[in-house]
Amino acid sequence: MIKAGIIGATGYAGNELVRLLTGHPQAEVVWYGSKSYIDQRYADVYQNFFRIVDAKCLDDNMEKMAEEVDVIFTATPQGLCASLICEEILSKAKVIDLSADFRIKDAKRYEEWYGLVHPSPEFLEEAVYGLCEINREDIRGARLIANPGCYPTCSTLAIYPLIKEGLIEPSTIIIDAKSGTSGAGRGAKTDNLFCEVNENIKAYGVTTHRHTPEIEDQLSYAAGEEVLINFTPHLIPMNRGILVTAYASLKRETSYEEVRAAYETYYAGEPFVRVLEKDVFPQTKWVTGSNYVDVNFKLDDRTKRVVMLGAIDNVVKGAAGQAVQNMNLLFGLPETTGLLQIPMVP
């Protein structure tokens, strides 16, 4: 059995990690780290684990944790994992970081977008960006995984085949994304109160959202040139889910069959990417509670543009599920192990 430790086990992503790992046939959680709930029973924090998890929450001592586990998940705010990581820890345990600390290779760019001086830039080059569908082979031999953000996961997978095949003009990409409130975390915030969110939709982080450079980096790698995008996220009144609608100009006249072939080329063998049938477009309710990402596209002959769409559960494929997918690759397990939950409807 793979022994797992979680720092930040009482946040939404941490709770989802506990749910997935508790049902994983070859892994077990042996350290429930939570600075806010030390010595409290985990099932008292999340009653859904009553009579399922009897353990108490421990502290976030990563050095001690590394001596007792095979893999450490850090589901924490930006800056914490990078402040704790060291060579000694990485020599003892694999680390899968769900924050943004190691997603952006340029420390100055990280500091510009996150307002933090990077505590351990010496590990940036080593860290592998954990988007399994693109970096699978690099992930297998890694010690440190930068688990992708939720918006970048959905955006990148929706766009990747077309930018990789050179079918779209990279400079014309516009991404409109909408997410449920769980993406903002479990902390008490006025903007996330029921009366603020219910019967409302709003844009936020307009031109400044922190996931922008992460998306740009991944699309730049695919395009082989620097890509700048317009990315605008919106908060909508539901618990889970992300829907991305992306737009780009076509480089030349392109048929439906050619675009479809691009998606099939990259995703035909992918267990969690579902390319939907023609004119069937992704909906968040069809992926809720699962590690699946649904994608599709629509050509607009009138404007010579293409609309690319994707939907994920932001807490699963956008966070904890993808982290477990990375863990499976790191330890030589079938990638789908513990992750074949069917989406929940309603």
Q: What ranges in 185-249 are assigned the alpha helix state H?
A: 194-197, 212-223
Cα 131 to the center of its chain, rounded Å = 8
Helix axes 212-223 and 150-164, enclosed angle (nearest 10): 20
Give the integer Cα–Cα distance in Å for 94 and 88.
Answer: 11
Smallest CA-to-CA distance from 34 within 26, 25, 46, 42 is with: 42
Give the integer Cα–Cα distance in Å for 182 and 180.
Answer: 6
- Write out the catalytic residue numbers: 150
Cα 215 to the center of its chain, rounded Å = 11
Handedness of CA 197, 100, 114, 151 (dihedral sign): negative
CB atoms within 10 A of CB 161: 25
Bridge partners, residue 243, by sequence: 178, 311
